[in-house]
Amino acid sequence: MSREVNKMKLPDEVEFYEDVRLLVWRPHGLLNQAAVNKIITAVGELEFLLKEPFNRFTDTLAADAHDLNFEYIIRVSLYRRHVYAGRPPVKSVILATDSTLVHYGKVHALLTQGSPINVRVFRDCKEAAQWLGAPIDLLIAEPARAKHPDDQRISPRKEPPNETSS
């Protein structure tokens, strides 16, 4: 990864694959305004640091619940449209099967039409990978490596070692 990305602390649920210019966000648990604000901040910081366009992939399948509303989605969409105006085109995928999240994604896609942000909502990961031109294994696989060499986080799916008493 570039020095700029290494300097930046990405949120736990975010991976950036510089070789394919792809940011992957996999929110888990509750998807709410705080989570969306955190990813918007991370995307904005990466856009500023890298100066080069990159595509985005949001996998909402592990989000157990959501606490969002259309007013908030509209504000976010118009904000992103405004701050990214005049920049090179990017593709943004929202992978969703929850009907409400699909609707939120479609509203976001509608409100960013005509801007450099091309948003599409998919229910199928293979179709999303094909449209993005990204390797499918980056989209379906849980992140296998740390974002930073000194990042010692344990993958959320990894079980802690058994403690035994003597």
The H-or-E segment that residue 15 falls in is strand 14-17
- pLDDT per residue as tens digits for the range 65-116: 999 999 999 999 999 999 999 999 999 999 999 999 999 999 999 999 999 9
Domains identified in the chain, total number: 1
User: In the predicted model, is pLDDT for residue 166 greater than 90?
Assistant: no
Residue 36 domain flag:
yes
Residue 151 domain flag:
no
Q: Are 131 and 91 in contact (CB under 8 A)?
A: yes
Count how many residues are written for the chain. Answer: 166
CATH number at residue 51: 3.30.750.24
Mean pLDDT of 33-51: 95
